[in-house]
């Protein structure tokens, strides 16, 4: 696998990698904003803490989630949807801080998607063993905007498949500060995350946090 090979070469990996038309990995893109991003994360999760939600089928997700922005993604026994209120706190989700909005906008632009204007940021917290099964992001109203995904903390293996569930996914190692953007012809590609390996990250400890920016509504 080409990407794993580049990874194992340490400092020699390219700063940008393509995962096919409309899909790119921007290595280390969020690093320059690290302090501001971590401080925004702290404020958001103080107001709307991470929680384990239930799937429509009645399973507790291993990934804990929260959101910021006008819309937050939620799941419970009645299904998946975007909601304007945090159902746990009974009030709107925390606003999307400008530093996050700008990070998502510039990442999208550098991957070829101009004028990305996210109204939702789903925040996922993985502890060792937590994973996300292959899925498509398709609860958004229109698919013309890309998805921008920021990885923080422990490294993970991101699975990036095709537009059909049966397509064999590529395995992409994502580290602290890496950003993946997928849109256009790649917008509905299946993706997921392998179970997180134990470890310790100097800034985030024994966890991985992923932020996905979306245009939900
Ligand atoms: C997601 O698909 O919402 C999360 C992807 C990731 O954690 O990298
Ligand atoms: Fe997703």
> Counting atoms of ligand 1 from 1, which one is nearest the CA of 180?
8
Q: What percent of the chain lies above the pLDDT cut of 70? A: 94
pLDDT digit string (tens) for 118-130? 999 999 999 999 9
- For residues 112 and 85, give the distance between their C-alpha atoms in angstroms, rounded to a whole number: 32
- pTM of the predicted model as reported, rounded to 2 decimal places: 0.94
Tokens of 107: 């990442």
Distance 126 CA to ligand 1 centre (A): 10
Distance 188 CA to ligand 2 centre (A): 10
For a pocket test of ligand 1, which of 132, 155, 178 has the largest count of ligand atoms closer than 8 A to its C-beta? Answer: 132
- For residues 198 and 3, give the distance between their C-alpha atoms in angstroms, rounded to a whole number: 22
pLDDT digit string (tens) for 87-104? 999 999 999 999 999 999
Instruction: Identify whether 161 is part of a domain.
Output: yes
- For residues 193 and 21, give the distance between their C-alpha atoms in angstroms, rounded to a whole number: 21
- For residues 148 and 105, give the distance between their C-alpha atoms in angstroms, rounded to a whole number: 9
* Region 66-74 average pLDDT: 98
For a pocket test of ligand 1, which of 192, 194, 204, 207 has the largest count of ligand atoms closer than 8 A to its C-beta? Answer: 192
More confident residue, 10 or 154: 154
Tokens of 188: 């509905």
Instruction: Identify whether 2 is part of a domain.
Output: no
Q: What is the CATH number of the domain that holds 56?
A: 2.60.120.590
- Asked if residues 23 and 158 have their Cβ atoms less than 8 Å apart, the reply is no
C-alpha separations of 189 from 24, 56, 114, 155 in Å: 13, 22, 20, 21
66 lines ligand 1 (CB under 6 A): no
pLDDT digit string (tens) for 133-161? 999 999 999 899 999 999 999 999 999 99
Instruction: Identify whether 1 is part of a domain.
Output: no
pLDDT at 16: 85
- Asked if residues 60 and 40 have their Cβ atoms less than 8 Å apart, the reply is no
Lowest mean per-residue pLDDT among 5-19, 24-38, 70-84, 127-141:
5-19
Distance 145 CA to ligand 1 centre (A): 17
pLDDT at 5: 45
Ligand 1, atom 6, lies closest to the CA of 210
Phi, psi of 30 (to 5 degrees): -90, -5
Residue closest to 41 by CA, chosen among 94, 115, 112: 94
Instruction: Identify whether 192 is part of a domain.
Output: yes
pLDDT digit string (tens) for 167-207? 999 999 999 999 999 999 999 999 999 999 999 999 999 99
Number of structural domains found in the chain: 1
> Counting atoms of ligand 1 from 1, which one is nearest the CA of 126?
7
What is 5-64 written as a DSSP string? HHHHTGGGS-SEEE-STTEEEETTTTGGGHHHHHHHHHHHHHHS--EEEE-TTSPEEEEE
pLDDT at 86 over 50: yes
64 lines ligand 1 (CB under 6 A): no
Range of the domain at 70: 7-214
Instruction: Identify whether 177 is part of a domain.
Output: yes
């Amino acid at each position: 696998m080409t990407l794993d090979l580049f990874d194992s070469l340490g400092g020699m990996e390219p700063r940008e990698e393509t995962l096919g038309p409309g899909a790119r990995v921007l290595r280390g893109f969020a690093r320059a904003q690290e302090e501001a991003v971590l401080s925004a994360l702290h404020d958001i999760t103080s107001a709307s803490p991470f929680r384990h939600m239930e799937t429509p089928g009645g399973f507790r997700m291993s990934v804990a989630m929260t959101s910021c922005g006008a819309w937050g993604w939620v799941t419970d026994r009645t299904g998946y949807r975007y909601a304007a209120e945090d159902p746990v706190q009974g009030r709107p989700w925390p606003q999307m801080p400008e530093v996050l909005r700008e990070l998502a906008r510039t990442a999208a632009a550098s991957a070829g998607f101009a004028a990305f204007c996210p109204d939702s940021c789903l925040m996922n917290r993985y502890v060792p063993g937590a994973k996300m099964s292959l899925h498509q992001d398709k609860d958004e109203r229109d698919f013309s905007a890309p998805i921008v995904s920021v990885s923080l903390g422990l490294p993970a293996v991101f699975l990036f498949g095709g537009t059909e569930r049966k397509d064999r996914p590529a395995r992409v190692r994502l580290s602290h500060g890496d950003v993946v953007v997928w849109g256009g012809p790649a917008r509905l590609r299946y993706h997921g995350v392998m179970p997180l390996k134990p470890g310790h990250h100097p800034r985030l400890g024994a966890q991985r946090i992923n932020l996905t920016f979306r245009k939900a509504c």
